[in-house]
Amino acid sequence: MSLTMYDASIPVFIHSLQNLKAILEKAMAHAEARKFDPNVFVSMRLYPDMLPLNRQVQIASDSAKGAAARLTGTEAPKFEDNETTIAELTARVSKTLDYLQTFKPEQFVGAEERPITLQSSRGTLNFTGLNFLRHWAMANFFFHVTTTYALLRHGGVELGKKDFLGPAPQV
């Protein structure tokens, strides 16, 4: 036995985005308890030429939905990237979760061999589905979820790695 491309992608994105949603909700509660506007987090950056928190969440969402679409040869919905509040970013994550939940394992049959072509700042990149998922989409996805966590931690929100990892799946 082995695992399928579905097993290695959709449940990982869903689990981590559910945790990201809970993290954003904790940031909101943290600000409200201290009576400051939670939306000041939205434009926070770790360094002036790094992307702010809203872009981190948007790209985490895009990485997950883009990977699911590319691996199944379908088209992902385009989201407007117009979120300016933590509540809107939380809704963006929910919308991404709803989309990911529509995928069925059978759509991923043969996805490991599917040719994937990406336009990036490096030019045109060609991957097999397997290399796209494991060396690109997954790394990119976790990069942006972790950076969102790091920004909120840096901004004083009381979070721990437990929030990032989320509930441990029982068996």
Closest CA to 134 of 116, 153, 109: 116
CA angle 164, 165, 168 (to 5 degrees): 150
Binding piece for a second copy, criterion CB under 8 A, among 22-30, 77-85, 89-97, 148-156: 148-156
Residues 48-67 contacting a second copy, CB under 8 A: 50
Please, are residues 143 and 50 in contact by the beta-carbon 8 Å criterion? Answer: no
Closest CA to 28 of 91, 77, 81: 91
Check binding of 171 to a second copy (CB under 8 A).
yes
- Partners of 119 in beta bridges: 124
Please pick, from the candidates 32, 37, 102, 162, the single residue that binds a second copy as defined by CB under 8 A: 162
Check binding of 113 to a second copy (CB under 8 A).
yes
Residue with smaller CB distance to a second copy, 84 or 154: 154
CA-based radius of gyration for the chain: 17
CA angle 48, 85, 34 (to 5 degrees): 90
Residue with smaller CB distance to a second copy, 78 or 161: 161
Binding residues (CB under 8 A) for a second copy: these are 1-5, 7-8, 11-12, 15-16, 46-47, 50, 110, 112-113, 115, 120-122, 125-128, 130-131, 134-136, 138-140, 142-143, 146-147, 149-150, 153-154, 156, 161-162, 164-166, 168-171
